[in-house]
A and B are shown apart, each in its own frame.
Chain A
Amino acid sequence: MRKVIALLLALVLVFALAACGQEAAKPEAKEDTPAGSAEGGLIKVGVINNPPSESGYREANVNDFTSVFTEENGYDAKFFYSIKNDEQLAAARQFITDGVDYLLISAAETTGWDAVLKDAKDAGVRVFLFDRMIDCDKDLFEAAVVSNMALEGETAVNWLLDQKLPEYNVVHIQGAMGSDAQIGRTGALDAQFEAGTMHKVVQQTATWDEGEAKKIVEAVINSGEPFNVIYAENDGMARGAVAALDEAGITHGVDKDVIVMGFDCNKWALRELLAGNWNYDGQCSPFQASVIDQMIKTLEAGGTIEGLNDAKQIISEEKGFDARTITQEDIDTYGLGE
């Protein structure tokens, strides 16, 4: 009897898992919708992206594309999501076979795309890259709308310099070592440490883990060394740092003892800014769809794309919010998540 129960239990869970799996596959199923809906002069677009579950950033990115490339805007868009390069490549081939007019790609990996992009060019499919660059000949795509992580770090550090503090004792909490965001956000601050304009109290990685960030800041507080800036490379880690400050009775925010800086611009983080508990939040913009939409409309009207740099890139504008000037409207427009 017990064996039967155990078996049933296992089966129930397996089916539960399978059901979840199907749910996740739904966005992919969209590409199976009959092409008949493409009638009426709609522009056929295939979008290849990473899955929204990757991060809050990606979810905002995916939502941005699904809300811009709609039938009302004149598109027949199909979407494919995977974090695996080979699956993305297969999907790209399928899109080319299906005869899309435009292919929009945020690649999982920077290499391996040459052959597919050549096929696309031969088939007359025009390619736009967004969010991530691909290592390939720049004739193979029309334009790339990307973020410049280094610029994002510089924007934040310049803001910090503008605060004109008598001295800068910085606790620097890093993301997962080697990730694009970590390298970009660390670089600008490292330059200040080297130049001697800011003093590095501690520089430690919490690998994006907010709980670990709290422990790092606790260790700094316990060491008794003074600090007046927390530079955390994402919002979650800034929240962890702030929790440690709160427990130690150290004030933080606008005109308080410690300046708190985060990145990503989650809505909850921007609300902390609005309340004056944090000072700054930087963002690597996940909103590239409208820029690409404009460029496609330009091409369709027979125009040419302007404003590209030598690498055929358009660098997304990086936002940084100051607690003194942020408004509720900013939160609604640029905040990620809920």
Chain B
Amino acid sequence: MKTKKTSRFFANNSALLIPLIAILLLVIFNLFRDPGFFSVSIAANNNGDPVLQGNLISILNGASELAILSMGMTLVTAASGGQDISVGALAAIAGSVFVKVLKGGGAITGSTVLLAVLACCAVAMLFGAFNGSLVAFFRIQPMIATLILFTCGRSIAYWINGGATPTVTSGIIDGIGSFIPGIPIPTPILIVIFMGILFALLFRFTTLGLYIQAVGINQGAARLNGINAVGMKLLAFVLLGVCCAVAGVIGVSRLSLINHETLLINIEMDAILAVAIGGNSLGGGKFKLIGSILGAYAIQALTTTLYAMKVSSTDVKAYKAVVIIILVVLGSPVVKEAMDRLWKKLRTSHPKDAGKEAA
């Protein structure tokens, strides 16, 4: 019974193998290097509140923005068969709007923060709709369409607040970006869980996931079946806009500061990579959100490992590239087929299991 369940799990989730293997390898490597690497302790921060500490927490916390962006990126990839390279720039715009609203209204209270979050979500959704309409309506390739915002996004972010790096000081902002007093888990981790649940519910109670998948696999067939293909693509970009806004708010809140030039810089490439490592086809169609999220954590785990190993600053990107090459090759169709053949061979040598599977 148990073997049947496992083999089914792998049949349904073979795409998840790559990120899981990646994380497993990094975990083993780190445990070998430093047995205490993943130890988590609880200690007081400078405000006197007890908080969780350790590399594991750093990885989970540090990957938050990437995890959230990779969720939205997965949807866009699935629906449009292309990637949005403007997510970092859009997060910078959203973060700038967030700060602008906060600085505009005197004292920062719960309601002004809520207003600021809503405002930056609205702006990010509008820009998402702009990208989406270029892709869905004008059928421009996603990477080209989003190249526009990629190029000008950080300039737009500059116009919102001016050149300097404005700061906002408020306990509520610290609560979003760091810790809520009394809760030892970093808030960004909680926000990722919240967003994950939100998407899970969306797919559970609507047909959105199925429709996006259908549009990605065959747009014409989907349309003939009464699915609004243009609308689905547009919606995917708008949802990514929301993800950008949330990521931007977290990024700004971590340090209570917006630097339009460096906020989540180069994150678009990591987000695309997370989708790919997560076993999702970059050509669109079937997707697994959880794969991309695992991919995001794998990327952050890799970066944190390199920092812990004190790799020299000039070499860090090269090391990262080597690991990524290995992961991407492992996930390539050729290697996958070879693995499948190996798997079948193993199963035929255990005819009992194979019989069960057939039944």
Asked if residues A9 and B251 are in contact (CB atoms below 8 Å), the reply is no
Q: Is B164 an interface residue (CB 8 A)?
A: yes
Q: Give chain B nearest CB distance to A117 CB in angstroms.
A: 29
B353 lies within 8 A of chain A by Cβ? no
CB distance from B186 to the nearest CB of A (A): 8
Shortest C-beta distance, B137 to chain A (Å), equals 5
Q: Of the candidates B54, B126, B261, which one forms a contact with A13 in the assembled complex, judged by CB atoms under 8 Å apart?
A: B126
Interface bits A301-338 vs B (CB < 8 Å: 1, else 0) = 00000000000000000000000000000000000111
Q: Do B137 and A6 have beta carbons less than 8 Å apart?
A: yes
Q: How far is the CB of B269 from chain A (nearest CB, A)?
A: 13
Question: Could you tell me the dominant secondary structure of chain A's interface residues?
Answer: helix
Tell me the bound Cα distance from A205 to B318 in angstroms.
14
- Which residues of chain B are within 8 angstroms of A203 by Cβ–Cβ distance? 312-313
CA distance A17 to B157 in the complex (A): 12
Nearest residue (CB) in A for B250 is A211
**Which of A28-36, A72-80, A98-106, A235-243 faces chain B?**
A235-243
For A9, what are the chain B residues with a Cβ–Cβ distance below 8 Å?
126, 129-130, 133
Give the residues from 259 to 284 in chain A that come closer than 8 angstroms, CB to CB, to chain B: 266-268
- B255 contacts the other chain (CB 8 A): yes
Q: How far is the CB of A112 from chain B (nearest CB, A)?
A: 24
Given contacts A177-B313, A222-B308, contact A337 B166 (CB under 8 A): yes
Residues of B within 8 A of A205 (CB): 313-314, 316
Decide if B167 is an interface residue (CB 8 Å cutoff). Answer: yes
Q: In the complex the two chains form, what is the Cα distance from A218 to B162 in whole Å?
A: 31
A214 at the A/B interface (Cβ < 8 Å)? yes
B275 touches A (CB below 8 Å): no
User: Which of B41-49, B193-201, B323-331 contacts its partner?
Assistant: B41-49
Is B85 in contact with chain A by the CB < 8 A criterion?
no
Query: Are A52 and B313 neighbours in the complex by a CB distance under 8 Å?
Result: no
**A328 CB, nearest partner CB in chain B, Å:** 17
Give the contacts of A178-208 with B (CB-CB under 8 A): 202-205, 207-208
Which residues of B149-166 have CB atoms within 8 Å of chain A's CB atoms? 152, 155-156, 158-159, 162-166
In the bound assembly, the distance between CA atoms of A239 and B159 in angstroms comes to 23
Q: Is the CB of B43 within 8 A of A6?
A: no
Measured CA separation A243–B46 after assembly (Å)? 10
Any A CB within 8 A of the CB of B141 = no
CB neighbors of A among B229-269 (8 A):
230-231, 234, 251, 254-255, 257, 259, 261-265
Q: Which residue of A lies closest to B186 (CB)?
A: A247
Is the pair B307, A216 in contact by a Cβ cutoff of 8 Å? yes
Determine if B134 is an interface residue (Cβ-Cβ < 8 Å).
yes
Q: Please give the distance in Å from A226's CB to the nearest CB on chain B.
A: 15
How far, in whole Å, are A39 and B137 apart by their CA atoms in the complex? 56
Tell me which residues across on chain B come within 8 A of A216, comparing CB atoms: 307
The chain A residue sitting closest to B304, CB to CB, is: A219
Contact (Cβ within 8 A) B137 A215: no
Asked if B7 lies at the interface with its beta carbon under 8 angstroms from chain A, I say no
Interface residues on A, range: 35 or more
Contact of A20 among B43, B159, B234, B316 (CB under 8 A): B159
Partner of A6, one of B155, B159, B230: B230
A151 contacts chain B at the CB level, 8 A cutoff: no
A3 — which chain B residues lie within 8 A by C-beta? 137, 230
Asked whether A215 lies within 8 Å of B304 as measured between CB atoms, the reply is yes
A121: shortest Cβ distance to chain B, in Å?
A: 34
Chain A residues 1-38 with CB under 8 Å of chain B are 2-3, 6-7, 9-10, 13, 17, 20, 23-24
* Contact of A219 with B58 in the complex, beta carbons under 8 Å: yes
**Distance of A336 Cα from B259 Cα, bound (Å):** 14
Known: A53-B158, A203-B313. A59 touches B163 (CB 8 A): yes
Task: Please state if A10 and B133 are interface contacts (CB–CB under 8 Å).
Answer: yes
Asked whether A210 is an interface residue with its Cβ less than 8 Å from the other chain, the reply is yes
Contacting residue for B308 out of A6, A211, A223, A247, CB 8 A? A223
B178 to chain A: closest residue by CB: A247
- A6 engages B164 (CB within 8 Å): no
Q: Is the CB of A248 closer than 8 A to any CB of chain B?
A: yes
What mask results when residues 61 to 72 of chain B are scored 1 for a CB within 8 Å of chain A, else 0?
A: 010000000000
- In contact, B129 and A239 (Cβ under 8 angstroms): no
Select A56's contact among B165, B179, B251, beta carbons within 8 Å.
Answer: B165
Q: Does B98 contact A (CB under 8 A)?
A: no
A202 touches B163 (CB 8 A): no
Cβ–Cβ contact A55 & B159, under 8 A: no
Q: Is the CB of B310 within 8 A of A337?
A: no
Across the interface, do B262 and A210 meet the contact criterion of CB distance under 8 Å? yes
- Distance in Å from the Cβ of B291 to the closest Cβ of chain A? 23
Partner of A59, one of B162, B259, B310: B162
Q: Give which listed residue, B158, B234, B259, contacts A210 with CB less than 8 A.
A: B259
Residues of A near B87 (CB, < 8 A) are none
**Interface residue B112 (Cβ < 8 Å from any Cβ of A):** no
B163 lies within 8 A of A58 (CB):
yes
A249 lies within 8 A of chain B by Cβ: yes
**Minimal beta-carbon separation of B123 from chain A (angstroms):** 10
CB neighbours (8 Å) of A202 from chain B are 307, 310
Most buried by B among A59, A216, A236, A250: A236
Q: Is the CB of B254 within 8 A of A249?
A: no
Decide if A71 is an interface residue (CB 8 Å cutoff): no
List residues of A whose CB falls within 8 A of some B CB: 2-3, 6-7, 9-10, 13, 17, 20, 23-24, 52-56, 58-59, 174, 177, 202-205, 207-211, 214-216, 218-223, 235-236, 239-240, 243, 245-251, 266-268, 336-338
A-B contact pairs, 12 of them (CB 8 A): A3-B137, A9-B126, A13-B130, A17-B156, A59-B162, A203-B313, A207-B262, A223-B308, A235-B165, A236-B262, A248-B53, A267-B164
Which positions in B face A, CB cutoff 8 Å? 34, 43-47, 51, 53-55, 58, 62, 126-127, 129-130, 133-134, 136-138, 152, 155-156, 158-159, 162-167, 178-179, 228, 230-231, 234, 251, 254-255, 257, 259, 261-265, 303-304, 307-308, 310, 312-314, 316
Q: Which 8 A-B pairs have the closest CB atoms?
A: A337-B164, A59-B163, A219-B307, A205-B313, A13-B130, A10-B133, A246-B46, A53-B158
